[in-house]
Chain A
Amino acid sequence: NAGVTQTPKFRILKIGQSMTLQCTQDMNHNYMYWYRQDPGMGLKLIYYSVGAGITDKGEVPNGYNVSRSTTEDFPLRLELAAPSQTSVYFCASRGLGTDTQYFGPGTRLTVL
């Protein structure tokens, strides 16, 4: 049982490039979340999903897209990277009827 895994761990992008941050959980959790963590700003919710095929915007969705074609995977897509998207990104999941989120190790993204 690996829990929540994220790839890559680190990435440097040029302005305007695109990339996908991968997130996979093997706990059969219905709920999945993407957060970004900026220094002194805490965690901000980007997108979340309550199940396969269902996603919704969080607090800071602009510049990102998500999909949830399977229960296990919840990739986050950056289409046109901007310096403001330099951050650490965390994926999390939560089981139906439970209240604890489990977090992945994070992806540190730098946009230059």
Chain B
Amino acid sequence: AQSVSQHNHHVILSEAASLELGCNYSYGGTVNLFWYVQYPGQHLQLLLKYFSGDPLVKGIKGFEAEFIKSKFSFNLRKPSVQWSDTAEYFCAPRPIPQRFGAGTRLTVKP
């Protein structure tokens, strides 16, 4: 069965703390992997994506994610979060139709 799970529902961090959000998926074939972000009051935006090649991909605003095929994981990281990173983050492995994880709400305290 196709599925995607995000382990953390709500993460609260102080500014400058490091961030890692977990994402695991279950698919039988080749996947493309995405992280989307939804800032308060805004719609979803693409943060980063992985198709092939270097398993460490860099996205916007200092975010990166590492694809570990053996663990079926695509965890999102940022070395030092800012208050402006407060948002909801969605992991989405694809093929069609696109599946989204339940989301992780990140709150960064100033």
Contacts and interface: CB of A to CB of B under 8 A. Distances in A.
A binds B: yes
Interface of A: 31, 33, 35, 40-45, 48, 50, 56, 58, 90, 92, 99-101, 103-106
A48 B96 contact: yes
B27 interface: no
Given A43-B90, A48-B96, A48-B97, A100 B102 contact: no
17 contacts: A31-B96, A33-B98, A40-B103, A42-B6, A42-B90, A42-B100, A43-B90, A45-B97, A45-B99, A58-B97, A99-B32, A99-B94, A100-B34, A100-B49, A103-B43, A104-B43, A106-B43
A99 to B, nearest CB: 5
B51 interface: yes
Nearest to B103: A42
Please report whether the interface of chain B is mostly helix, strand, loop or mixed according to DSSP: loop
A40 B97 CA distance: 21
Given A90-B44, A103-B44, A105-B43, A42 B102 contact: yes
A101 B32 CA distance: 12
A42 B36 CA distance: 12
A44 B9 CA distance: 16
Contact of A99 (B44, B51, B97): B51
The 8 closest A-B pairs by CB, nearest first: A42-B102, A43-B100, A103-B44, A42-B103, A105-B43, A103-B43, A48-B97, A42-B100
Nearest to B44: A103
Given A40-B103, A99-B32, A103-B43, 8 more contacts: A35-B100, A42-B100, A42-B102, A45-B99, A58-B97, A90-B43, A101-B98, A106-B43
Interface in B92-110: 94, 96-103
B90 A45 contact: no
B17 interface: no
A99 B49 CA distance: 9
A31 B99 CA distance: 15
B46 interface: yes
